[in-house]
Structure 1
């Protein structure tokens, strides 16, 4: 019951409506949905971080702060104000990802807090305490979920990359094997950025792609480019390689390759580009285009313009030699590769995503794998280790003491090697606690270092390897390395 001395019978109607809308976080859930619908980029990240911070703050305010900090009042209220706390948490967290979004939402948060005072539901001190609590929780999220630098990774300019002009000499593959999102996809995409780093593979994604740019879009900028749309089940790498062996109508050999797709398709063509010593054009047409994002390609038009003008940088390609004996095969990766729990998670996700959608399936598969995982006994460069999983990144990823989220350089010429020890008591529990507390860099269960080459031999039955989200056939020997000679990848010149 509200104190009649504080109730305002003439409170503005808009304040009463705003106050009701903010009950149980409904207002911020709607705002987060709008930001998420705005598409990839800082607005979506602002919505995800904001709703997570608001939810955590609300739980703390109701479960801890109010019971521990009671205010004896005739009307039975306690401080701090949960409305003010959630509002402050959402806006502060959103501003970390997008200052523009944060600034736009400040008046809404101020309005919610002001309404609580004007309508007599809270005092000024209650609102101030709530706002301080919310801002504090939002800032603390950085300890286990760092704010990622979203600028393109650095790389040396690629002198001599051909300017393709009208597209003559370019062979582009448009991979049409797209996935269809399930009904829970939107919910899963909000949950995924939080649960995926638990196993240290935040940058690994499969080739579950949106339909790629049609040939007409490519031909609008590069009218003479050769566009290959492979049939489902056909090895498009072989098609592109065959096209490279055929001369153009002018009699000259093709001089560049391109791919419209996600990271799995990009990795396959990057390996071909490295072997044939030709530049690569990346059209970001996948669900999550981590490699294109790191290179600095935000959309298809940007990539096409850079290829037309001949602007490119040198990028390393990771290679893993799989197997031993006559069945050796080399698989390229542009982002990451991993052994252990992640390949199992990918297999489960693929079997469930048709029913639930990719991200919910990934979240459920993560829980299943963590609960049922068995340690993996391996030799790392000849030294026996018992591990839960092994992560190998193409380049040095940051931050070092947490999940690998971004890389500052594309031409570092090194492998980022990380693994979770399974020979420490309660290792999985200690790992999760360290992630939540932001102390992973000091944990005994987490090992991170750099290598130029890594040899892994599995003791026991062969296991699967995941490269850029694609699960390779089981094997018991893997040699990770950086391919000799970086490849030119088209991207706009930095200004």
Structure 2
């Protein structure tokens, strides 16, 4: 049987469809014009005063660039990332809008005669009305910022809506132009989120701090403080004077140049109820080991160069530690044990990480932190300090390995602080040494704050971690001190094992 012929649409049917589409388009255009007239003719002193100023502020994206600059100099990593994404999204949207979208269909600007003179734009634009470039940029910036920091994005979303209103109220655009601009800005922002996903901070459900019932010691009775007077380029002497003045009954033991630090700490602790220590992080770690072994509270006075542990527990000054001793405020914190014998309070590392930290610290005196981090990373990777380690049956070739006691912020190889030291987790960060191209990609990821997305970067939060050095023993540095070479290293968290004096802080 021959196939049935396909029915043909008559010319009149095609004309009918075209006519129907034309009528719908004309109807929408008429509705758009009527809404414009309603807004333009609305008598409002508030619109007269605010809309022209807001519209002018967003000319050439001046308002958005000013907001981004303020966020960038705030010092908060999330704010900087949000500002960068917002400006990048705005730039792409502006290019798409002006070089592509405005050329698709010509639409004349509204006639300004219905707009009150005091509200009318000083210079009416002559370019194509569809879509609104101001509205597209506003939506792009608000959604770009909101992808990294939703609360700020919500506020900017409201501001973007007002910008769209200002373009109609001042006679620059029809409402349809504004909605088309919003759609373009939103589409570019969503595409950017898919191509470069935003960084999300881990949110862990951590129990409230474990407070330790300790007596108040207003004069320091029962406290023995071991002080390294030469710590922190003389800071130890100043802390020593503060302790003597504010805790007159505390017994003070000064470390000599040739003293066995561990022996002096144990001797002082055995005749006291509280062990205090004033020195660098290495001395503090030694004191923590003694306090842990004798199950007694530890009081840490910041007397070193960096004082990472003291700073993270809230004892940034000697006065803060003295206040905690006087008021009887102590809490239980985690410590990390290396092979169940050595105490780690801050970090452990292998490879070239200590050299990387020294280089970055030196560069930060004249470069921004992200750029200093990238340059230090490049210099470190250029010098071959590669170590092959086996982790969970997988061999990784790395020159940068960091293990932290509790979770550090932010992600990547520029950690700076810990909000809690009682989360029961190790923070492990490993950067593999890949091909030259992979290393370049990692450097760009560092500068953009997106190292977490690099396939060469591994980050995990675990209660225990074991690694084996494939090519023989390798040095394991801990708390800034060069340690012993080890073929295998096992780290585990001693959960809330160390009672430590610290000011009461709100639960994060």
TM range (shorter): 0.5 to 0.7
Q: Does 1:167 align with 2:199?
A: no
In the other structure, the counterpart of 1:29 is: 68
Given the superposition, is the C-alpha separation of residues 493 and 365 from structure 1 closer, same or farther in structure 2, using an over 3 Å criterion?
closer
Q: How far does residue 32 in structure 1 lie from its aligned partner after superposition?
A: 1.7
Which of 31, 47, 56 aligns to 2:79? It is 47
Secondary structure of residue in 2 paired with 1:317? strand
C-alpha separation in 1, matches of 2:196 and 2:500? 32
Secondary structure of residue in 1 paired with 2:356: helix
Is the counterpart of residue 257 in structure 1 residue 311 in structure 2?
no
Which runs of 5 or more structure 2 residues have no equivalent in the other structure? 1-35, 41-47, 108-126
SS in 1 for 2:89: helix
TM-score (normalizing by structure 1): 0.60
Change (3 A) 1:15 1:475: same
Q: Does 1:472 align with 2:482?
A: yes
Q: Which stretch of structure 1 is more off in the superposition, 293-302 or 110-119?
A: 293-302
Say whether 1:338 aligns with 2:353: no
Aligned residues of 2:352 and 2:400 also touching (Cα < 8 A): yes
Q: Is residue 173–residue 227 contact of structure 1 (8 Å, CA) maintained in 2?
A: no
Cα separation, 1, equivalents of 2:188 and 2:316: 33
Partner of 1:39: none
1:274 and 2:313 are equivalent in the alignment: no
Deviations, residues 280-299 of structure 1 (Å, cap 9, x unaligned)? 34578999987568657798
1:173-212, aligned counterparts within 5 Å? Answer: none
Contact 1:279 1:487 in 2 (8 A): yes
Residue 63 (structure 2) pairs with residue 19 (structure 1): no
Q: For residues 332 and 91 of structure 1, what CA distance do their matches in structure 2 show?
A: 42
Is the Cα–Cα contact under 8 Å of residues 149 and 406 in structure 1 kept in the other structure? no
- Tell me if structure 1 keeps the 8 A contact 2:406–2:425: yes
Distance 2:387 2:54 in 1: 59
Asked if residue 85 in structure 1 is aligned to residue 85 in structure 2, the reply is no
1:404-419 equivalent positions in 2, closer than 5 A: 410=421, 415=426, 417=428, 419=430
What is the CA-CA distance between 1:362 and the residue it aligns to? Answer: 2.4
CA contact (8 A) 1:427 1:445 kept: no
SS for the counterpart of 1:253 is: coil
The answer to whether the Cα contact below 8 Å between 2:381 and 2:399 also exists between their aligned partners in 1 is no
Separation in 1, partners of 2:246, 2:214? 16
3-state SS of paired residue (2:210): coil
Counterpart in the other structure of 2:19: none
Alignment check: 8 A CA contact 1:171 1:240 kept: no
In structure 1, what is the equivalent of residue 328 of structure 2?
310
| Matches of 2:501 and 2:196, distance apart in 1 | 33
Listed as ranges, the gaps of 5+ residues in structure 1 are: 37-43, 180-210, 322-329
What do residues 222-265 of structure 1 show as CA deviations (whole Å, max 9, x unaligned)? 5448699999xx98997898587569xxx9636132559xxxx4
Distance across 1 between alignment mates of 2:245 and 2:140: 48
Q: Give the Å deviation of 1:449.
A: 7.7
Once the two structures are superposed, residues 370-395 of structure 1 have per-residue CA deviations (whole angstroms, 9 ceiling, x without a partner) of: 56667532356998653454343335
**Partner residue of 1:459?**
471
Paired residues for 1:443-458 under 5 Å = 446=458, 448=460, 450=462, 452=464, 454=466, 456-457=468-469
Aligned residues: 429
Deviation at residue 88 of structure 1 after TM alignment: 0.9
- Which of 44, 54, 57 is matched with 2:89 structurally? 57
Tell me the TM-score normalized by structure 2: 0.59
1:393 — aligned with what?
404
Deviations 1:24-80 (A, max 9, x none): 8431134325644xxxxxxx3553243123123224324567656555346157566
Aligned partner of 2:3 in structure 1 is: none
User: CA separation in 1, counterparts of 2:155 and 2:425?
Assistant: 42
- TM superposition shift of 1:269: 0.8
Output the aligned Cα RMSD: 6.0
Q: Quick one: which of 349, 374, 377 aligns to 1:366?
A: 377
Evaluate the alpha carbon distance shift between residue 297 and residue 135 of structure 1 in structure 2; reply closer, same or farther with a 3 A threshold.
farther
Alpha-carbon offset, residue 124 of structure 1 = 2.0
Matches of residues 110-189 of structure 1 in structure 2 within 5 Å? 110-119=161-170, 123-129=177-183, 132=186, 136=190, 143-149=197-203, 154=207, 157=210, 159=212, 161-168=214-221, 169=223, 171=225
Per-residue Cα deviation, 1:88-107 (whole angstroms, up to 9, x for no partner): 146635754xx4x6677666
Aligned counterparts of 2:387 and 2:266: Cα–Cα separation in 1: 42
Cα distance in 2 for partners of 1:432, 1:358 equals 13
Q: 1:356 to 1:34 in 2, by over 3 A?
A: closer
- Name the counterpart of 1:72: 105
Residues 421 and 293 of structure 1, relative CA distance in 2, 3 Å threshold: same
Deviation (angstroms), 1:84: 0.2
1:166-188 Cα offsets, whole Å, 9 max, x none, are 43426386999879xxxxxxxxx
